[in-house]
Amino acid sequence: MVEKVITLENVSLIDFLGVENKNIKEVASAFPQSKIISRGNEIRIKGTTPEIIKINDIMNALLEHYHKYGKITEDNVQTYLKVDDELVVQEGMDDTLIYGTKGFKIKPKTANQKLLVESAMQNDLVFAIGPAGTGKTYISVALAVRALKNKEVKKIIITRPAVEAGENLGFLPGDLKEKIDPYLRPIYDALDDMVPAEKLRYYQENRIIEIAPLAYMRGRTLHNAFILLDEAQNTTTMQIKMFLTRMGPHSKVIVTGDKSQIDLPKRQQSGLVDALHILKDIKGIGFVTLDATDVVRHKLVKDIINAYDISDAAK
């Protein structure tokens, strides 16, 4: 048997290992052929080389998660174990989608984010549904940028409905672009992470990357393009039908939305909810659901989502 020692540095042992080392015991139970022992700030792993490599990858992922969010829970452990068990990429391959503008890797970090990537590879139309902070838009933009860089498509088109999030903003000054840009800001933020500023400007000036409100899609046929509809829960049934029927040859479409954050008037049915029901049996369309376990924002966001889910269920 081979042995590997992992030394935990700058780590609160109780927050990382869990009460009575419960997190490490959870990992150990998934690998019964190996021994994982925690003593002080050292974790000793004994087993075959292939299993040690898997365990080491999981431990590194958990350490990365800890340094970002300050704590490891049993749910986190189960998520990373699930990624390893079900969705590990083929040996020798990296699941990095692209490298960001500052050199960091942009890749799926949770099991359901990996499902989204795989579904986009297998289907030309994918619906990605989940609450805020689950990375559905960010991963979708990364997939679009990768497709453009790999010359799989000739352009990227990103759109979202211009619906105010429960606020009446009143008159907005400026030209049309200045009026709609606030609604599209999250898209710009994602692209800023992935495409150098000068190149992004070139892409936009030459309409290789288009970011526009949904109303601009009417009457177009979008071919050889990667098309993303964000915040689709705020579309009407006619709007989402109009959008989906723009899809031309050699195009990929990802529709993202959060059914818990519909900002339409109370009597207006969400087009996303309708589409999920109407299209559920069509082959070639992928459906991926993300949940609170996929949240990659501040560690409190997951708890906030869960609290609201419990409250909504009680109502």
pLDDT one-digit tens code per residue, 293-314? 787 666 676 678 778 878 877 7
252 domain residue, yes or no: yes
212 domain residue, yes or no: yes
Select the highest-mean-pLDDT range: 164-168, 215-219, 259-263: 259-263
Residue range(s) defining the domain that contains residue 41: 2-87
Last residue of a domain, one of 87, 107, 142: 87
- pLDDT value, residue 173: 57
Total domains in the fold of the chain:
2
43 domain residue, yes or no: yes
CATH code for the domain in which residue 143 is found? 3.40.50.300
92 domain residue, yes or no: no
Residues 146 and 286 in one domain: yes
93 domain residue, yes or no: no
pTM of the prediction?
Answer: 0.64
Q: Give per-residue pLDDT as tens, 77-92.
A: 887 777 555 444 333 3
Residues 19 and 81 in one domain: yes
Instruction: Report, as an integer, the average pLDDT of 17-34.
Output: 89
Residue matched to tokens 């992928």: 286
The secondary structure of residue 48, as a DSSP letter, is -
The answer for 195, left when phi > 0, alpha when psi is -120 to 50, beta otherwise, is: beta
Last residue of a domain, one of 59, 87, 115: 87
- pLDDT value, residue 172: 52
- pLDDT value, residue 92: 36
Select the highest-mean-pLDDT range: 30-44, 160-174, 210-224: 30-44
Last residue of a domain, one of 87, 108, 137: 87
* 3-class SS letters over 101-121: CCCCEECCCCHHHHHHHHHHH
Find out whether 258 and 135 touch, Cβ atoms under 8 Å: no
CA pseudo-torsion sign 6, 34, 88, 16: negative
CATH code for the domain in which residue 38 is found? 3.30.1370.10
28 domain residue, yes or no: yes
Tokens of 313: 């269920």
Residue matched to tokens 């009417």: 218
